[in-house]
Structure 1
Amino acid sequence: MSLCHEQLQARLRAILPGARLEVMALPETPQLELLLLSADYPQGDLTSEVMQRVMDNPLYWVFCWASGQVLARYLLTRPERVRNKRVLDFGCGSGVVAVAAALAGAREVIACDIDPLALEATRLNAELNGVTLQYADDFFAVQGEIDMIIVADVLYDRENFCWLQRFVERAPQVLIADSRVKHFDHPPYRQIDRRESCTLPDLDESAEFRDVRLYLAG
């Protein structure tokens, strides 16, 4: 059973007491709204118990990361990239890129994430933006042909680099947005764009993490 806004917020507060969710329009794509962590989230000293809960339950889905914003804007301004295609958003987080792909005219969008709360957040954000998505918690269990895989900000851990090859083996086109890897040399991926953005709510990240690059394979 899917969760409503209040239930998802209760799950969030069980991990990070005092946190709350708020509907926000994205600065770069104001036609797209997301349910995200309010900017007044707890930022003081956290107890060791709370810190451990956050580490055990990473809250990637409560932020719209810079790479996600850039990729969403790119798809909305270049809808021909996904129009009439079956698209899989890997590591969907808040669902920003999956929602943008659907708004851009993709035939079907599969939001994929191993975190059940990320999938629930994506469901709510899809409803908020009036689009329909499909959902998967296992990349390898997705059946049928995929025309394009879209990925934002999953290369923060070098252990995730193995997915670059898996993506090109699964789909003829792969579109990646990343702000973490500065010397990206992974053929057949090639850089096609570069834009600046920031995470929402703003984490006051250094300039290097606001520098987002887009890579395409296929």
Structure 2
Amino acid sequence: MSPPLALQQSLSELLGDARLVVTDLPDTSLKLWLIDAQNMNRAFTPDETRRILYEPPYWAFCWASGLALARYLADQPHWVKGKRVLDFGAGSGVAAIAAAKAGALEVLACDLDPLALAACQANAALNQVQLSYSSDFFGEADRFDLILVADVLYDRENLPLLDQFLTRGQQTLVADSRVRDFRHPLYRQLESLKALTLPDLAEPHEFRDVSLYHAQRCQATFSVPAQPL
């Protein structure tokens, strides 16, 4: 099977010999187009390193929190079954695809990066599910039952979004392995999960510990502004 042409071309421009391959995700029924692990097992040139830092192909990896959330939804389908779901910062689309597989009524994959949305579309086809797509979270109506968020809080400047999620959905599930001082009055920890990023980036083992948080819209959220902070 040949990888999606536009995605492969973009990856080749970034990392010369890197290739997208169909990768089965462990302990799931899902598969994604991801960077071939063998391509990552080498030294990068200074120019490649610069390009990776400034233009990281997030969509070509299955990050640990996304994998953990996908497994959780497969085990706990009641979170999404028959519901309207938005996957924020969808990346490869792994959480969105898992929600669709678990019986969601509608799943919208939302990401600012057009390449990420292209990856979501390719991976949805690979898994034989139907998704919708958006690049503008704040352009979406307040109509979702659940907002899914995985691997978004690596940048602490994104923390104010925790309030904003509840302006578009009744509930939010956040999977995160980076923030160790997570404190928010509306969010409570549900689970501690284990997962790793694919292909394996040899990240510190602490990043394999994924925390799952849940928030339910309440009266206090009605005063939250509907624009990004």
- If the TM-score is normalised by the length of the shorter chain, which range does it land in? over 0.9
Where does residue 120 of structure 1 map in the other structure? 118
Specify which of 165, 168, 180 is matched with residue 182 of structure 1.
180
Residue range with higher mean Cα deviation, 40-49 or 203-212:
40-49
C-alpha contact 1:65 1:199 (8 A) present in aligned 2: yes
Where does residue 38 of structure 1 map in the other structure? 36
Aligned residues: 214
Runs ≥4 residues deviating over 6 A: none
Where does residue 213 of structure 1 map in the other structure? 211
Where does residue 18 of structure 1 map in the other structure? 17
Where does residue 55 of structure 1 map in the other structure? 53
1:45-124 correspondence runs (5 A)? 45-124=43-122
Where does residue 202 of structure 1 map in the other structure? 200
- Tell me, in whole angstroms, the C-alpha distance in 1 between the residues paired with 2:148 and 2:39: 29
Name the CA shift for 1:20/1:173 in 2 (closer, same or farther; >3 Å).
Answer: same
- Tell me, in whole angstroms, the C-alpha distance in 2 between the residues paired with 1:52 and 1:205: 19
**Percent of residue pairs bearing the same amino acid type:** 53
Gaps of at least 5 residues in structure 1 are none
C-alpha deviation, 1:148, in angstroms: 0.7
C-alpha contact 1:196 1:210 (8 A) present in aligned 2: yes
Root-mean-square deviation (Å): 1.3
C-alpha contact 2:86 2:147 (8 A) present in aligned 1: yes
Gaps of at least 5 residues in structure 2 are 217-229
- Tell me, in whole angstroms, the C-alpha distance in 1 between the residues paired with 2:166 and 2:140: 15
Where does residue 7 of structure 1 map in the other structure? 6
Matched, 1:191 2:189: yes
C-alpha contact 1:18 1:42 (8 A) present in aligned 2: no
Where does residue 27 of structure 1 map in the other structure? 26
Counterpart amino acid of 2:146?
Answer: M
Counterpart amino acid of 1:178?
Answer: D
